[in-house]
Amino acid sequence: MMKRLSFLAASLCIALTTTAQEATGSAANIVDEVIWVVGDEAILRSDVEKARQQMGRVIGNPYCVIPENLAVQKLFIHQAEIDSIEVNEDQVNRYVDQKISEWIQQAGSREKLEEYRSMTMAQIREETYDLIKDNQLTEQVREHLTKDIKVTPAEVRHFFKDFPTDSLPMIATQVEVELLAEHPKIQQEEIDRIKSTLREYTERINSGEMTFSVMARMFSEDQLSARQGGEMDYMSKAELDPAFANVAWSLTDPKKVSKIVESQYGYHIIQLVDKRGDKLKLRHILKRPQVDQRDIDAALLRLDSITMDIKEGKFTFEDAASALSDDKDSRNNRGLMFNVVIDEIAGERIRTSRFKMGELPTEIARVVEGLDVGEISKPFTMIDKAGKLQCCVVKLKNRIKAHAATITEDFQILSQIVRNKRCDEFLNNWIREKQRTTYVRINPEWVSCDFKYPGWIKD
């Protein structure tokens, strides 16, 4: 855990450590000690040990590499204070929940995780929160410092003009995929069962038998918000499903529970937590109707029949996707799926029809792997991004095989490489300048390290 200390507190901690050594005559009895001070930030020996355990293999001497990495992070965190850069607390908590859930799954249980880490869950959560918060702050400062760095097409061409062909980056195989999807019919009896369940939840909340947050933790099928008692981040109306948003924005009393609302994700009840400007903080409980296997089989059979008609030339895959697909995003593109990636040059999200195999939904990637260009798959099932089961067929429109990057075909990727290089150069210079103007005190046993940034040791 990162501990912030004033110069006085840091000095006191060092003094106490020295006293402990003198009293016992053995360094082995020291629980912890300050080994570096960077500005008004302390790095403890325990910080290094924890980082060493989490990082696994480190290139170089970990007891030199890790303290320097922590010291560099301190510089960025101090800059965050200067520039008033803050992290989204809700987002940090979500990442903490995800990470702890992964650890529990790997360990087998909460108890086994506590035993393995020799810490309580509260301690694990506190430590993980601090680490993730500091990492996010560091990343935001890096982005803030380099946000104005741009590269021109001429710079990109000049950079790669004399680049050895065998040193050019390899571009992974990419594919363009068309999708035709159908959501199996949900029986009315199942819809009635879900609504009855949500009405029961509402009655139990209104009667005071249980709070909304407890009910959400126990029963909501939105696993991410369920861990937070059903709470979601502050969101604007445009960020939410339209039907969900219309009901949410009609709420005025935080004690009231909304009527049942159907969205693309399933059925919900909602509770208002807070309003901030044009954004609401909400709790919700989500229940998804279960699909009967007979309805799944019927949907797969219909898709199989459509595929046969396409192969017989009655209409094209693109015509069928435009008219029949339940996947709204690809339907509007005549079945062509689009990938959203970050353009690091412009700092904007852009749409492209090209996917690396790892960027496709797992079920689609598995099917596409065995298709030839122009071939249509057999019907299969998958879970869509709304968490609903859907039946699908896909057509492989194009496959761009792995190749060495070229200016004509992969300009965007090469531009990102050049910009990343410019950003690294800028940040390296920034770190060296901050070293020059920042107070640094290092325990003598670290002075002999071969640091990446030698400016820690001052003459």
Interval 210-255: pLDDT, tens: 999 999 999 999 988 888 899 988 888 888 999 999 999 999 999 8
- Judge contact between 423 and 188, C-beta under 8 A: no
- Judge contact between 66 and 122, C-beta under 8 A: no
Query: Which CATH architecture group holds 188-287?
Result: Roll (3.10)
Query: Given its phi and psi angles, is residue 173 left (phi above 0), alpha (psi -120 to 50 degrees) or beta?
Result: beta
Measured on CA atoms in the order 186, 362, 400, 351, is the torsion positive or negative?
positive
Q: What pLDDT shows up at residue 384?
A: 87
Q: Is 177 helix (H, G, I), strand (E, B) or coil?
A: strand
Residues linked to residue 400 through DSSP beta bridges, in sequence order: 174
How far apart CA 215 and CA 213 sit, in angstroms, is 5
How far apart CA 249 and CA 254 sit, in angstroms, is 12
Average pLDDT over residues 149-170: 84
171-185+292-404 maps to which CATH number? 3.10.50.40
Residue position matching structure tokens 């987002």: 91
Q: What is the DSSP annotation of 107-124? A: HSSHHHHHHHHTS-HHHH
**89-107 and 121-146 helices, crossing angle to 10°:** 130
Determine what percent of the chain is predicted with pLDDT higher than 70: 90
- Judge contact between 275 and 296, C-beta under 8 A: no
The structure tokens listed for 196 are: 């009855």
Measured on CA atoms in the order 219, 224, 227, 229, is the torsion positive or negative?
negative
Q: What pLDDT shows up at residue 448?
A: 86
How far apart CA 263 and CA 240 sit, in angstroms, is 10
The structure tokens listed for 217 are: 């933790």
- The residue among 80, 83, 7 whose CA lies nearest residue 38 is 7
**Average per-residue pLDDT in the chain?**
85
To the question of domain 7-148+422-456 being in CATH 1.10.4030, the answer is: yes
Equal CATH topology for 7-148+422-456 and 171-185+292-404: no
pLDDT tens-place string over residues 63-73: 888 899 999 99
Cα→Cα distances 318→183, 303, 315, 323, Å: 18, 14, 8, 9
Phi first, then psi: give them for residue 4, nearest 5 degrees.
-95, 125
Q: What pLDDT shows up at residue 31?
A: 57
| Residue type at position 453 | Y
Cα angle, residue 324 at apex, residues 320 and 328 outer, rounded to 5°: 110
Q: Looking at per-residue confidence, does 125 or 16 come out higher?
A: 125
CA 346 to chain centre: 21
pLDDT tens-place string over residues 293-340: 999 999 999 999 999 999 999 999 999 999 999 998 899 999 999 987
The structure tokens listed for 391 are: 């039946």
The structure tokens listed for 110 are: 């909460």
Q: What pLDDT shows up at residue 305?
A: 96
Cα-Cα end-to-end distance for the chain? 31
Q: Is the pLDDT of residue 94 over 90?
A: no
Residue 456 carries which DSSP code? Answer: G
Cα angle, residue 442 at apex, residues 436 and 448 outer, rounded to 5°: 95
Averaging pLDDT over each range in 20-34, 43-57, 232-246, 389-403, which range is the top one?
A: 389-403
- The residue among 196, 202, 201 whose CA lies nearest residue 256 is 202
Given strand 261-263, what is the order of strands in its sheet?
235-236, 279-287, 266-276, 261-263
| Residue type at position 377 | S
Averaging pLDDT over each range in 57-61, 159-163, 166-170, 177-181, which range is the top one?
A: 177-181
How far apart CA 257 and CA 201 sit, in angstroms, is 10
**110-117 and 89-107 helices, crossing angle to 10°:** 90
Q: What pLDDT shows up at residue 102?
A: 82
Q: Looking at per-residue confidence, does 422 or 21 come out higher?
A: 422
Q: Is the pLDDT of residue 90 over 80?
A: no
Q: Is the pLDDT of residue 168 over 90?
A: no
pLDDT tens-place string over residues 260-301: 999 989 999 999 999 988 889 999 999 999 999 999 999 999
Label residue 355 exposed, middle or buried (CB < 10 Å: 0-12, 13-18, 19+). Answer: buried
CA 80 to chain centre: 21
Cα→Cα distances 422→4, 111, 410, 429, Å: 32, 47, 19, 11
Q: List the domain boundaries for the chain.
A: 7-148+422-456, 171-185+292-404, 188-287
**pLDDT classification of 56: cutoffs 50, 70, 90:** low
- The residue among 385, 411, 440 whose CA lies nearest residue 183 is 385
